[in-house]
Each structure stands twice: as C-alpha cells, then as structure tokens.
Structure 1
C-alpha cells in the first residue's frame, strides 16, 4: 500500500501544496470546479499526489480556495467518475492506486502478465460497483461506524448457544455425517427436512427436488451457468438484489429491467418484453423484496406464472426472507402456485440463522436438480457437512421455529424503532415504505436530494447505508436509499438515523438560504 501522504502533513502545509497545483482564474470562462479537478488530475497523474493521499475535506478545501463547497464537491465527483479518487467511509477521500500508475508499472514484477488483461476488464465484466458487497460486510468490523447497510442477523440473534448445545450433545455420535464428506446433493436428513417444511408452505416437492448449496449466491451462479450463454438476456425487477446484478453481468448476460411498484414487478410491462425478446429466465424476489421490502400481490404472482408458461420462460424465485414475516402467517412462495415446474426456487439459512453456516438450497424439477448437481461438483465437491448437520438437528429438535419466532419479534421491534426515529430526526418531504417482513427499509429522499451526495455527507457523521442506484440496472435510483434494520443494535438504529438526519439537513441548507416549509413525512400503507 502507498503511504498516506496527507496523514503525515499538518493540514496547513498540505493546503500549501494544494495551492501549488490549483490556480484558479475566475475570468477565463472555465467553470471553477473544472479548474480544480484539472489541477488535481494533473497532480495525480504526475505523481505529485501519491497513491493513498487523503485529499482535504470539501469544506476545508473550499475555504482555502475561496469557493463554494458545492464547487469542490463537483470537482471531486469529476475525479471520482474517472476513477482517480475514491471515498471511503470513515477514511475520507483517497487517491486511488490504480488511477495514475502507468500500465507497465501497475503490477509489481512478480505479477504474471496474463493478470493485466483481467484487471482491465474487471469493471466491464461485473460493473463499477463490484467491490460494494465486500466493503459493506467489512463495515461490521469498524467500531466507529454505525452501519445501517448490512442485511444480516444481529450478533445476539446468531444461535451460538443452540449450536454449542447440539455439538456438545451429539457431535461425538455423528462425527462421520457432520465432519466427513457428504453427498453432492446434500445430507439426506437435511433435504428431507427442507422438503417437509416447504410442503407445509404449499410447495409440492420431495427430497429428490432439493439440492443443498453453499449459499444462495452459488445457486444463482450455477443456474446462470446452466441457463445462460454470453449475450443472453435476463429479466429482473428494478430495483433488484445487487448480488444478482453482479452475478449475471459476470456471466456475460444482458439485463432487462422491469419496474416495480407497491405490488411488486409490473407484469403488465413484462408481457411486451416476452413477446418481442427471448430472455432465458426471469429473476424475481416476490416476498419482502431486496431492497424495497415489497410483497408481490397474489394477482401479479398468478399473472407472472401465466406469462412464464405462455412464453416458456423459467422463473428463478429468490426467497431469502420469506420466513421473516411480521404478520400472522408466512406468505406462500411463488412456487406454491406453480403447476408446471417453471419456478426454480432458491432460499438460504443465512438470514434465518447465520450467514457463516453457508447453507442454502435449490428446489426444482428432478432433471434440473440432477444437472445442477453435476455442475456443483465441479465447483465444490459438497457443501460443508457440519453446517448441514447443525441445521438438520435444529429442525429435528423443533428449535428452528422457536428461533425464527424470536427473530421476527426482534426485527419488527427494530423496524418500528427505525420508523419512529425517521419521523423524529429527518427533515420533511421524504417518503418511507414500511415492509411487512424482511430486513430492509426503502426510502425516497426529500426534494431532489441524491443518495450519493448524502452518503458522502453521512460519512462525516460516521454512519453508512446503501445508495439506491446500486440496485438499479436502468441508471435510476439516485434519490433512494436502503436502510437495514436487522443487524444494528437498537441504540445504534436511533443514533444512526439521527446522524443521517444531520447530514440531510446540512445538504439542504447548502441548497438554499431561506427557510423551507416543513411537509409531513408520508408513511405509506404496509406492503
């Protein structure tokens, strides 16, 4: 890693060096922000600003140069869009290592030449936000940051005590099934348990229709490799799960987005796509969708299945949150209405229990399971056996449902806390969409506030969330954010929301010097 240049200089000295390559000429007709970005660009490319240099905060640089903070913000945005600088939550804005090094020096001498082409193609392959997921998961280790970004169970809902008791009680007798190799399809006991639980939710499956996976992301990858060739088209909801977007792009697919509303995917717009194009499959999260939390209406589910049958297009149903519901009953999966075997169903224990177990499953017609099993064994011989055994034991001992009931109560309480904090601390004019289950809250920012600008401002308050545009394949989502309420502690939910409110008001104050009349936050009906 390069030296953090700024951290080794007092700010006044660093400002002096900034002035040496930013010379503003207010009469030459070039916008001031472009003059600033050009000066910084030349300094970065020449090496005057080494890799890892922390640039001054926008406010400090604006004061030094005698310009508006928005001018500096626009200059930084210019450089960020070119890949020359990058904002990091809690660390500020840094010069990117890869942005200015000549191609022949990009890697050290021990790096094989074939890696050069892979690095160059990375952004085109899986998009400019390829590292977002790994950066979000690393936020949990940053104690100074309040993260409302990760959709994972909180520490106190990870079933460590249950797992410990099961291991102490039974592992000695079950060491072969728990610690040895298991079938590629998965432990038979777990597959039987999963099939039985799915039948209770109305899905007609048996053990031969279940394939155990190392996480549902593996399932997306296997199905993608099975169904897609480079250049094939995939239909997704807009917005949709970021991990799916990245996976489909990595497989070379062309993604077609269908808008959603409070009832889920706009299937009235889907038919025209199916009639004109030949997508290989439709990807949907019909139950407590990520990121919006929307529950697809029964009418649209039926219409979606009709269209899939008419145009002979399979549906990949991603149901990570179906058992995290806040009402009286679990919504049935889309697959429960499938009479023709057109729905390939994915779910995971990452949200229900613990992501570290790495156990998920695919439910599909038997020929698909057989083919997927062959694909799977070329990538991993079997899903970790001890994770499968632990979950099978939890189900056998009737402990899973008890755990899920506690989780639902916990997450509903946290959602209410987040909604109350938003009403208390956030400025008027936004729109909140309370979900009836899951882990995520979708929010439309007030006025024309942009999520990326708010994210940058919120970094100064040491709080993180996810910008809505990451979930869009159509270039939209700039005015939306996703907040995850399951993972943070209750006290951090209130404080995190308060900090975002501080950042919002600061952004709004810059846009106008006059007071604006407050409008009530619109809380829509539960979806």
Structure 2
C-alpha cells in the first residue's frame, strides 16, 4: 500500500490516460457512470491508481471519455461513498485507498491465489450494487435499524399457527408426500390446486402447464438459460425488479429498457424496438409493479399481446403481488388475455404466505414445461416437498383465501398509515401515486434531491429504504425511492417516516434559502 503524504504536499494528476483503465461499452446495459466507477475502483484496489493520486477534474475526464460532466460526477460520488476517493479544496480529488483498512500483506499471506482473480469485472457483470439484496435481507436481524426496504410479509402475518396445526394433525398420514421425494415438476396435489385457482382468475390451464419452483427467481434463471445466450437482448420496464436485472446481467444479456408511467409499460414505445431489434423476450410486472405499484391498463395489455404475437417475442409475466389487492377484485393476469400461448407466467407464495417456504410456480406451454422440468433437475431435483404439501393443504382447506383476506386488510391499513406519516413529517414538494395493491410505495423526492444522498443521511437516523436508481437500467431513478409498507410494524412505519423526514430537512437546509416556502405535496402519477 502506498504511503500517506502530508496535506501540504500536493500530488500531480494521474499522468496516464484514464481511458486506458476504463473501457466503456455503451450497449451492455450498465450505466456509463457505473462502468467508470467500477473501472476506477478496480484500478485503485489493484494499485494502478496508488493512494494519493490526484484524479482529473470532472470536466477534463468527461471530455477524455466522451461523456457529460454529470456522468463523471456520479462516478466520483460512487467512489467517494465507498471511501475510495476524497475531495480537497485546492488539491482536487485524491485516491484514498487507506480508508479500506486492507493490508496488502494480508492478501499475500492469507488469500489463495485463485481468489485474487475475483475482481470488479465480475461485479460489473452482475450490475450495480449487486450485493444490495443480501444487505436488505440482513437488516431484518439488526434491531436498531427501521427497515422500510424489505418487501416481505411481517412476522405476525407468517402463518405459523396454521402450519403448526396442519403438521400436528395431518403430517403423520402424509409423511411420504410431505417428507419424501416428489415429481420433478412438483407435487400433483399442489399443481391441481394452483391450476384450479388460476382458472378462477381467467387463465385456462391444467396441471401439465405448471412447474413448481424453488422461488420465482429460479424461474427467471431457468427461462433465461433456456432462451438466452450471452449477448442476446431482453426488454424490461424502467424501472423494474432489481432481482431480474441482476439475473439477466449474470446470464450475459443486453437489457433494453422501456419507460413506465402510472398505466405501466409505455407500450407505444415498444414497437419501434421490436421492429429493429430481436429481443429474446419481454419481461413485465403488469400488476402492482415492483417498484412503482402501477397496474398496466387493459388497453396496453391487449396492445402488448398484439405486438408479442406480431413480432414472435414471448412475454415473461411476473405476478408476485397479483392477489394482494385492496379493491373488491384482483386485476386479471396478462396471461388471462393470452390466446396464443405467448405468455410465460411466474408467481410465488413468498409474498402471499412466507418466503421461507421457497415455493413458486411457472405456467407455460407443455413442451416448455417438459424441457424446463428436465433442466431443473440439474439444479435441485425438486422443490422442497414439505413446503409444497403445506401450501397444497392450505388451498384444499380454503385456508389460503382466509389468510390473503387478512393480509390485504393489514397491508392496506399500513399503506394508509405510511401516507399519513409522509403528509405529517416530510417536507412538501414530492410526488406519490398510491398503489391499489402490493407492498411498495414509489416516491419522487422534492426538487433535485437525490435518494443516494438522502440514504446517507437516513443511515445516521437508523432507518433504511431502497434507492430508485437500483431499479433502473438506463442510469436514471436518482430522485426516487421505494418504501415497503408490509413488513414493518405500524409504530415503526410512523417512526421510520419521521426519521427520513429529519434527514430530508437536513439536506434541504443546506441549500434552501431561509424563509423559502415549500410547494404542497402532489399526489400525482410518477412518470
């Protein structure tokens, strides 16, 4: 590691070309600022940019790399948040590798050589903030932090008592189906139950159209491995589910983003893409979309299906939240309108019941189910039998519908509480479009406030949320955040929103002239 230099001894700029360290690929789906920050990060950690090196000014580097100055500013902000660089008045931006507290000798003595090959290039394949999902999950065990980031059922809505009763009274007589191996495509009783429920929702399927999965992410992986080769293109909504972005990037896909509004994907912008490109499939969350909560309008659903048929592109419908609705009736799945078999339908019991059961399902044409069933056995043979048996019993005894009714009431009440707290504790000027189902609230921050900067302040208040930029494949979303209202206790919703409000006002105080009045909060569609 390089030696620290006294502050009164300014260092020269990095004399070589930064473009020799950062190779920009403008069509790979990773925002340019992230490619720049990842390239510089690897150079810093490898020693190519030693500690104390003075980086070029934002304007100079922007000219060298052929990007705008904001892109460089965002890349420098990323590195600064990791403690890898630091700005000094009169001295510029300096590499600050020592903040990592890593001793080079430690790696030489304690790390096998094959591990040293794992670098930021692998992180780039997975995309920005690849570790964020695991960090969200770990927050649940940190009692001091109020997390508004986790889109999961709360502890009191996990059906422990129902499961306990089922197992106490019925497990002994069902030990083979519950505790033994089951068919590769899933427990027959569960597939029958799922098929019957889907027919009630307008989807004409039978057991042979259903494959049971170990979570819907496994379904995305199986579909991706079946349909994609590295370099193929996939169309997604912007913003969209972070886990899907990471999965498609891990499979080497190039991601094309289509903007959304309060009626879902802008299908009017899709045809031009399909006409001149050849994406392998279209990924959409048309019902209570994650993160926006939007529901795709009926007209757009029909148009989307028409385009998919015309250009012979399949659609992957992710419907994790479709049965968590706050009105009198759930929106029909997109699959219910599909008369040509172009929609591959994914759903999961992680949101409806409990993520620990690890049970989801795919509905698709029989030939694809047969192929994916054989392919799935190379990963896990079959989904855990006891989780399948529990859900099958809950469906058969009408316990699932009873549970969902309670969940809908609970989450709708929590949403109302969150909106009330926002009105009370947050400065005006933001925009919100309250969802009619699901678990997430999408919020546009006031003015030019950035969610990344707000999150840094919120950490000091012991509260967490998800930055909007993580759901974007186009480098956008900086002024948005996602709040999940299902998981936290009601008292924590109010307190968490209050703490974020403190952080917001602290940010605004740094740049808002004294006495300036905020404009009222707008409950408008977010575009």
User: TM-score, normalised on structure 1?
Assistant: 0.83
Root mean square deviation of aligned Cα: 3.0
Asked if residue 383 in structure 1 is aligned to residue 383 in structure 2, the reply is yes
* C-alpha distance in structure 2 between counterparts of 1:518 and 1:284, whole Å: 36
Partner of 2:295: 295
Deviation at 1:514, TM superposition (A): 1.9
* C-alpha distance in structure 2 between counterparts of 1:438 and 1:327, whole Å: 11
* C-alpha distance in structure 2 between counterparts of 1:267 and 1:78, whole Å: 33
* C-alpha distance in structure 1 between counterparts of 2:357 and 2:227, whole Å: 27
Deviation at 1:524, TM superposition (A): 2.9
Map 1:507-518 onto structure 2 (within 5 A).
507-518=507-518
Question: Given the superposition, is the C-alpha separation of residues 109 and 44 from structure 1 closer, same or farther in structure 2, using an over 3 Å criterion?
Answer: closer
* C-alpha distance in structure 1 between counterparts of 2:130 and 2:98, whole Å: 15
Map 1:71-470 onto structure 2 (within 5 A).
77=77, 79-80=79-80, 84=84, 106=107, 109=110, 111=112, 113-470=113-470
* C-alpha distance in structure 2 between counterparts of 1:96 and 1:357, whole Å: 44
* C-alpha distance in structure 2 between counterparts of 1:281 and 1:515, whole Å: 52
Per-residue CA deviations over 1:362-409 (Å, capped at 9, x if unaligned) read 000000100110110011111000000000000011100000000000
* C-alpha distance in structure 1 between counterparts of 2:223 and 2:191, whole Å: 19
The answer (yes or no) to whether the contact 1:21–1:43 under 8 Å persists in 2 is no
* C-alpha distance in structure 2 between counterparts of 1:373 and 1:420, whole Å: 47
The answer (yes or no) to whether the contact 1:241–1:291 under 8 Å persists in 2 is yes
* C-alpha distance in structure 2 between counterparts of 1:373 and 1:99, whole Å: 47
* C-alpha distance in structure 2 between counterparts of 1:85 and 1:402, whole Å: 54
Deviation at 1:105, TM superposition (A): 5.8
* C-alpha distance in structure 2 between counterparts of 1:439 and 1:310, whole Å: 34
Per-residue CA deviations over 1:147-192 (Å, capped at 9, x if unaligned) read 0000000000000000000000111111111111111100000000
Deviation at 1:101, TM superposition (A): 5.6
The answer (yes or no) to whether the contact 2:83–2:97 under 8 Å persists in 1 is no
Question: Given the superposition, is the C-alpha separation of residues 460 and 182 from structure 1 closer, same or farther in structure 2, using an over 3 Å criterion?
Answer: same
* C-alpha distance in structure 1 between counterparts of 2:385 and 2:198, whole Å: 21
The answer (yes or no) to whether the contact 1:450–1:478 under 8 Å persists in 2 is yes
SS in 2 for 1:416: helix
Deviation at 1:115, TM superposition (A): 3.4
* C-alpha distance in structure 2 between counterparts of 1:139 and 1:479, whole Å: 23
* C-alpha distance in structure 1 between counterparts of 2:258 and 2:109, whole Å: 44
The answer (yes or no) to whether the contact 2:193–2:392 under 8 Å persists in 1 is yes
The answer (yes or no) to whether the contact 1:44–1:100 under 8 Å persists in 2 is no
SS in 1 for 2:436: coil
Deviation at 1:117, TM superposition (A): 2.9
* C-alpha distance in structure 1 between counterparts of 2:84 and 2:449, whole Å: 25
SS in 2 for 1:295: coil
The answer (yes or no) to whether the contact 1:45–1:100 under 8 Å persists in 2 is no
SS in 1 for 2:414: helix
Question: Given the superposition, is the C-alpha separation of residues 171 and 261 from structure 1 closer, same or farther in structure 2, using an over 3 Å criterion?
Answer: same
* C-alpha distance in structure 1 between counterparts of 2:44 and 2:196, whole Å: 64
Stretches of structure 1 that go unaligned for 5 or more consecutive residues are 1-17, 29-40, 50-72, 87-93
* C-alpha distance in structure 2 between counterparts of 1:98 and 1:377, whole Å: 42
* C-alpha distance in structure 1 between counterparts of 2:381 and 2:249, whole Å: 25
Deviation at 1:517, TM superposition (A): 1.1
* C-alpha distance in structure 1 between counterparts of 2:432 and 2:487, whole Å: 19
Deviation at 1:433, TM superposition (A): 1.5
* C-alpha distance in structure 2 between counterparts of 1:317 and 1:21, whole Å: 58
Stretches of structure 2 that go unaligned for 5 or more consecutive residues are 14-42, 52-72, 87-95
* C-alpha distance in structure 1 between counterparts of 2:380 and 2:98, whole Å: 35
The answer (yes or no) to whether the contact 1:314–1:344 under 8 Å persists in 2 is yes
The answer (yes or no) to whether the contact 1:84–1:100 under 8 Å persists in 2 is no
* C-alpha distance in structure 2 between counterparts of 1:319 and 1:75, whole Å: 34
Partner of 1:479: 479
Question: Given the superposition, is the C-alpha separation of residues 310 and 99 from structure 1 closer, same or farther in structure 2, using an over 3 Å criterion?
Answer: farther
The answer (yes or no) to whether the contact 2:219–2:346 under 8 Å persists in 1 is yes
Question: Given the superposition, is the C-alpha separation of residues 99 and 294 from structure 1 closer, same or farther in structure 2, using an over 3 Å criterion?
Answer: farther
Question: Given the superposition, is the C-alpha separation of residues 85 and 493 from structure 1 closer, same or farther in structure 2, using an over 3 Å criterion?
Answer: farther
Question: Given the superposition, is the C-alpha separation of residues 167 and 522 from structure 1 closer, same or farther in structure 2, using an over 3 Å criterion?
Answer: same
Question: Given the superposition, is the C-alpha separation of residues 76 and 232 from structure 1 closer, same or farther in structure 2, using an over 3 Å criterion?
Answer: closer
SS in 1 for 2:351: coil
Question: Given the superposition, is the C-alpha separation of residues 322 and 95 from structure 1 closer, same or farther in structure 2, using an over 3 Å criterion?
Answer: farther
Deviation at 1:99, TM superposition (A): 8.6
